[in-house]
């Protein structure tokens, strides 16, 4: 497992980087996310799913929450619900004053490390 610097802030999957794709790196700005294709049984670099969320490109503009994170929840009908959110940076020097996360089209979940505002007001 190797940590590297990038102009695109992201946290990758430790399991994929360490166990499935050791030694692989994604250095293209258009496809910075290391992923594993189970059907093809190969490692590949993908773009962030939040860059094309039903035609919308999300960005994180708050300095304390610069990481655009994609995850999936399940709704009441057991359908996959895509979630794009702004995740906090890991900064040992400055502790953050985190607020509880407000619900945004996602029932009964919270994440103390996600931005309570999600995106800057000028994004939408």
- Evaluated on CA atoms 11, 38, 76, 50, the torsion sign reads positive
Per-residue pLDDT tens for 56-75?
899 999 988 988 988 889 99
| pTM of this structure | 0.64
- Contact between 106 and 83 (Cβ < 8 Å): yes
Per-residue pLDDT tens for 79-109?
999 899 998 887 666 555 555 443 334 434 4
The encoded tokens of residue 54 equal 């039903």
Angle 28-82-30 from CA coordinates, rounded to 5°: 10
């Amino acid at each position: 497992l190797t940590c590297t610097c990038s102009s695109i802030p992201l946290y990758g999957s430790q399991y994929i980087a360490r166990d499935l794709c050791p030694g692989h790196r994604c250095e293209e700005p258009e496809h910075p996310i290391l992923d594993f294709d189970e059907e093809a049984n190969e490692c590949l670099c993908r773009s962030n799913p939040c860059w094309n969320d039903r035609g919308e490109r999300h960005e994180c503009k708050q300095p304390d929450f610069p990481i655009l994170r994609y995850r999936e929840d399940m709704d009441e009908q057991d359908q996959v619900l895509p979630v794009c959110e702004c995740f906090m940076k890991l900064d040992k020097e400055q502790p953050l004053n985190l607020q509880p996360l407000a619900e945004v089209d996602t029932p009964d979940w919270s994440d103390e490390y996600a931005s309570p505002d999600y995106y800057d007001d000028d994004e939408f």
